[in-house]
């Protein structure tokens, strides 16, 4: 199977699913489409030998799965290889180039957070909601404007960001660093200005990120939550009870903004929809007092670019009321 040709023939393709002996399946405009071509063992041999490498193949043989990233032609791909009923299988996500994307719909918010010198900014949402793309956009904007040192920790590296005004070091988990938490601790010894985390998976990583934000660094991170206020609770409750008051205080002081986003499709068009929370003194007080469930009330006021997901959806133009109601049910 020629991946580059497949992508070239289907410009709207977002994912390729390959299972040994089965027809290749692609995702177009949000729906799966089965092709006539079948996947053979030679495809997986090429995948490891040509793109992922021997170490990833050993990881797959030992653990039953592995992750990696590669560039094929002009496209960047995120690759997950696994086993299904004893057969080799792979999911390939095609990542758009940042230059090919339409302008970000929240330019003012984006510029505001990218101008921050310190603090924690969270990009949240379910899988496939464009979190990595938003994070890469933020890094690219900082890279184009600020002479600073950016260290990213990713699993795997999805968007390659060459140094421009900024000095950029992208580190891949299990290749360049053991895990996210140790990567953040390492980064603090590397004279960073900006630290980007591909994902905050556990309390150890969250604690390291909060420490970095508290000590004067700008920390950008993603989290798998569906609402801005839920993200705050998710972090707090990841810690044992005897540390939660401390974590509340750290979040109140250092959290700058949270966006929760979704990609919603209508026909062949995809809309990026964001809920935006900006931590102001009044909401910082709510976080300290354990009243973060009241935060959406402040978001509804529309101050400092804030809005709820409902406001984001019903504020869209060119979308029917029926379609908006459908999206509300989905989220």
pLDDT digits (tens), the chain, 331 positions: 888 889 989 888 999 999 999 999 999 988 899 999 999 889 999 999 988 889 899 999 999 999 998 888 778 899 999 999 999 999 999 988 888 888 899 999 999 999 999 999 999 999 889 999 999 999 999 999 999 999 999 998 989 999 999 999 999 998 899 999 999 999 999 999 999 999 998 999 999 999 999 999 999 999 999 898 899 999 999 999 999 999 999 999 999 999 999 988 877 778 899 999 999 999 999 999 999 999 999 999 998 889 999 999 998 888 888 888 888 887 7
Cα–Cα distance between 236 and 277 in angstroms, integer? 17
Q: Tell me the three state secondary structure of residue 309.
A: helix
Using an 8 Å Cβ cutoff, are 216 and 239 in contact?
A: no
Share of the chain above pLDDT 70, in %: 100
Q: Mark out the alpha helices in 81-151 (DSSP H runs).
A: 107-114, 131-145
CB proximity list for 101: less than 8 A, separation 6 or greater: 133, 137
Give the closest residue to 133 by CA, choosing from 175, 105, 171, 91: 105
Please state, rounded to an integer, the average pLDDT across all residues of the chain.
Answer: 93
Cα–Cα distance between 127 and 263 in angstroms, integer? 10
Positive or negative, the Cα torsion across 196, 199, 203, 205?
negative
Take residue 302 and report the two structure tokens written for it: 């529309």
List of domains in the chain: 3-95 (3.30.450.90), 99-330 (3.40.50.300)
Cα–Cα distance between 180 and 208 in angstroms, integer? 9
Cα–Cα distance between 319 and 271 in angstroms, integer? 10
Which letter does DSSP use for residue 20 in this model? B
pLDDT of residue 71: 86
Take residue 239 and report the two structure tokens written for it: 């810690």
Q: DSSP labels for 150-202?
A: EEEEESS--S----SSSEEEEEEBTTTBS-HHHHHHHHTTS--SEEEES---S
pLDDT of residue 294: 95
Please count the other Cβ atoms lying within 10 Å of the Cβ belonging to residue 298: 19
Phi/psi zone of residue 16: left (φ > 0), alpha (ψ -120 to 50 degrees), beta?
beta
Using an 8 Å Cβ cutoff, are 123 and 275 in contact?
A: no
The model's pLDDT over 286-301, given as tens digits with 9 standing for 90+, comes to: 999 999 999 999 999 9
Neighbour-count burial of 104, counting CB atoms closer than 10 A to its CB (0-12 exposed, 13-18 middle, 19+ buried)? middle
CB proximity list for 281: less than 8 A, separation 6 or greater: none
Cα–Cα distance between 23 and 11 in angstroms, integer? 20
């Amino acid at each position: 199977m020629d991946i580059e040709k497949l992508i070239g023939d289907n410009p709207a393709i977002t994912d390729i699913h390959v299972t040994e002996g089965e027809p290749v399946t692609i995702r177009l405009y949000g729906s799966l489409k089965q092709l006539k071509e079948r996947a053979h063992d030679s495809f997986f041999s090429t995948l490891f030998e040509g793109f992922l490498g021997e170490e990833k193949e050993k990881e797959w043989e030992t653990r039953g799965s592995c992750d990696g990233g590669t560039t094929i032609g002009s496209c960047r791909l995120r690759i997950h290889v696994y086993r299904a009923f004893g057969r080799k299988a792979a999911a390939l996500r095609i990542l758009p180039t940042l230059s090919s994307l339409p302008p970000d719909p929240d330019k003012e918010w984006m510029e505001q957070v990218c101008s921050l010198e310190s603090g924690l900014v969270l990009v949240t949402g379910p899988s496939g909601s464009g979190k990595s793309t938003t994070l890469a956009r933020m890094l690219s904007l900082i890279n184009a404007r600020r002479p600073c040192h950016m260290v990213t920790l990713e699993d795997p590296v999805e968007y390659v960001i060459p140094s421009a005004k900024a000095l950029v070091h992208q580190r891949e988990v299990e290749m360049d660093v053991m895990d996210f938490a140790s990567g953040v601790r390492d980064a603090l010894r590397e004279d960073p200005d900006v630290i980007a985390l591909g994902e905050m998976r556990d309390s150890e990583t969250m604690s390291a990120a909060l420490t970095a934000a508290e000590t004067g660094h700008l920390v950008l991170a993603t989290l798998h939550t569906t609402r801005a206020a839920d993200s705050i609770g998710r972090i707090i409750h990841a810690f044992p009870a005897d540390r939660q008051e401390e974590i509340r205080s750290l979040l109140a002081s250092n959290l700058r903004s949270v966006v929760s986003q979704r990609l919603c499709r209508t026909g062949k068009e995809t809309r990026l929809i964001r809920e935006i929370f900006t931590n102001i003194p009044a909401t910082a007080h709510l976080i300290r007092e354990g009243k973060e469930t009241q935060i959406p009330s402040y978001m509804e006021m529309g101050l400092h670019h804030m809005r709820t997901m409902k406001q984001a959806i019903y504020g869209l133009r060119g979308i029917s009321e029926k379609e908006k109601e459908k999206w509300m049910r989905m989220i």
